Amino acid sequence: MKKRLVFGLCAAVLGSPAVVSAADVSQLAQQVHPRVVEWRRHIHQHPELGYQEVKTAAYVAEQLRNMPGMEVQTGIFFRSEVVSTLDGKQVAVMHACGHDTHVAMLLGAAQILSGMRDQLNGTVVFIFQPAEEGGGGAFKMIEGGVLDNPKVEAIFGQHISAGYPSGSLEYRAGGTMASADTFSVLVKGEGGHGSSPWAARDPIIATADMIVSLQSAIARDVNMSLGGSSMTVGLMSGGARRNVIPAEASFSGTVRTLNAENRDTLQKSFERIVQGTAHSHGVEADIQYTRLYPVTYNNPTLTSRAVGALKKAADGKVKGIPAKMGSEDFGAYGEKIPAFFWFLNASPYVDKAGAPNHSPHFVIDESAMLVGVRAMVETSLSYFDNK
């Protein structure tokens, strides 16, 4: 029975060659690197928003069809982000998180592996996914059966940043990136004049009490031994004049955790605290609480097997890191099958990190993509060697 492996979320789904050395993979990655740079620049200069990646999908499908032994299923798109330029190409949106490099590196891995097709002892699938940035494209891919035909055993992914030093890799076993949930609360009171607050039911005071009280959920309800959590209110609104008590106020924010149990706990605590505080102030609270992305959890066994492959790909420049409180929809795949997600540093500077992802100044060192391609290929080989 052939083994099947998915390399997903702007990474690859691949089977493993029989016997290929690290030197072979390095040489093949060097050969394909100019094309990887070309692919990345084309995609960067033609960005599209989430679920609108029509031209990008067509471009990638065309590249894949030119690779030997490749079967391409259309209707699979992938993610992009917002605002700026490259080489004078003025457009209204931008790849400011590096997903253009993810697609290019995946194409590079596909180019290498398609050339090894006669040595492969498993099915090779490459996933190009839409709308990671807030769109939850991974869920759509799963609903569409991307893990079912062929049946997938494990999934790998990587994410680039302008971290230092360029060409190094970072990883973590267990909870690696936080879950992401959002909330919005509309507090309904009774308006009145500031000179007679006793005649009103002040939603602003109630809202302020709710926001402060919610921090007790982090301090007292969360099991910190299971990983970090945060609850942040980023928006608060109420009132139009300084001497008038409004009838309504509102606030919204995000909740992040590194553990599924704490995620459930915080949602229950949130609803209990908000409704309890509303009752004590004689106001009403309408809650909208939305669960977005699950924890990105790196399977410990899969992680331990893959670390050696990462070291080959990065010539030993690999280190373990603390968990990140940012979020990724890659966690949706990990809820279905064992998963491993790592990070590729690509600072354009020789002595410091570059601008963070999502900055309008985000720029990467394109030579680091060579390591990214090697990492995808080496990790797939390691997976099958250890089965």
Q: Detail the residues annotated as belonging to a binding site.
A: 97, 99, 133, 159, 358
**Cα–Cα distance between 10 and 81 in angstroms, integer?**
14
Amino acid 29 reads A
Closest to 176 (Cα-Cα) out of 122, 256, 56: 256
Q: Which residues are known binding-site members for Mn(2+)?
A: 97, 99, 133, 159, 358
* Burial track 139-152 (b if 16+ CB lie within 10 A, e otherwise): bbbbeeebbeebeb
**Cα–Cα distance between 128 and 125 in angstroms, integer?**
10
For 277-301, the DSSP string reads HHHHHT-EEEEEEEEEE--EEE-HH
* Nearest 10 degrees: Cα torsion 190, 192, 195, 196: -50
Name 238's bridge partners.
249
Phi, psi of 294 (to 5 degrees): -75, 175
Q: Which two tokens stand for residue 295?
A: 């924890």
DSSP E strand boundaries for 56-167:
84-86, 89-91, 122-126, 155-161
Q: Which two tokens stand for residue 160?
A: 């680039």
Contacts of 334 (CB under 8 A, 6+ apart): 155, 294, 295, 296, 297, 298, 299, 341
Closest to 152 (Cα-Cα) out of 179, 127, 118: 127
